[in-house]
Amino acid sequence: MMGTFSSFLNTFFILFLELTALFILISFLVSWLQQKVTEDRVKRILNRPNKWSGYLYGVGLGSLTPFCSCSTIPILAGLLSSKAPFGPSMSFLIASPLLNPVIIIMMLTLLGWELTLYYAILIIIFSILIGVVWNALGFEQSVKQVRIKKGDRSSEDQNVPKWKLALQDAWTLFYPLFPYLIIGVFIGVLVYDVIPQELIVQYAGGDNPWTIPIASVIGIPMYIRVETLLPIAGALVSQGMDLGAVIALLIGGAGASIPEVILLSKLFKRKLVVAFVVSILIVAIGTGFIVQIIL
């Protein structure tokens, strides 16, 4: 019992410190870039004359960010505070944790180039469609006014080094999200330690159609971090879990982890948070079935 509790505390503190460091670092970089890059330039990048290219830029930005789902939140807040278009920003939110270079490289190593290519194409398509649909449904109204407050600088601030201002902005964003981060990490680690791997294989193994929806739902509370993907996926495949179910498990865990959902509740109203979780489940189930059919 003491060993389990000690392991839980160790995992909790390591994950909490990692996410805190990532969160502050990324918030710092976003604020620093916002001082260098004007809001008009950000809007021009994502708000293209051809609206579809704006969504492609959003997905492209997501694919270049080697971060977990939680650490995309400060970048998203930075995009929204720069008045970036809502739809492409949401495409970035979906694509970032699912298309980052680390996860693509690990998939290539584990599952080969063919499955990785299908996976990347499907995630790009789903990310664009979700951004388009959310924008068409007017979900922009469900975004709370949580922003990186860099706009109105006092006269004294003009002489302050940009890195100091960026550090102040990073803390301004992180401080109100601090309790949400603690709660999210606690729940994620607790569920991850409680759910045994054998139980997942028992209910999400084999090639039955119901294994993919179950795997996608199980993935969310598991909070599958990118660095744990390779041993978990390898073990599940070796124990007979279907590739489609493994992909669904991956998307559910990497795309909508509990810590990310809790942090998003600080940025989004409940309606949009629910839409986010449902959309990730649709992506997980849809991609899982398509992979199962193709391979």
Q: What is residue 182's predicted lDDT score, i.e. its pLDDT? A: 79
- Phi first, then psi: give them for residue 139, nearest 5 degrees: -70, -10
Structure-block tokens of residue 133: 């649909």
> In the predicted model, is pLDDT for residue 153 greater than 60?
no
Q: What is the mean pLDDT of residues 5-11?
A: 79
Question: Is the distance from CB of 154 to CB of 276 less than 8 angstroms?
Answer: no
Model confidence band, residue 58 (pLDDT cutoffs 50, 70, 90)? confident
Instruction: Give 35 or 125, the one with higher predicted confidence.
Output: 125
- Burial per residue of 166-189, b for 16 or more beta-carbon CB atoms within 10 angstroms, e otherwise: bbbbbeebbeebeebbbebbbbbb
Q: Residue written as tokens 């791997």?
A: 197
Structure-block tokens of residue 153: 């600088």
Q: What is the mean pLDDT of residues 218-235?
A: 61
| Amino acid sitting at position 289 | F
Model confidence band, residue 155 (pLDDT cutoffs 50, 70, 90)? very low
Instruction: Give 281 or 144, the one with higher predicted confidence.
Output: 281
Model confidence band, residue 128 (pLDDT cutoffs 50, 70, 90)? very high
Name, in order, each residue with C-beta under 8 angstroms of 209's C-beta and a sequence gap of 6 or more.
Answer: 289
Residue-wise pLDDT for 98-123, tens only, equals 887 767 776 777 677 888 899 999 99
Q: What is the mean pLDDT of residues 70-74?
A: 72
Residue-wise pLDDT for 171-222, tens only, equals 876 776 677 667 767 766 765 666 666 665 666 565 567 888 888 887 776 6
| Amino acid sitting at position 221 | P
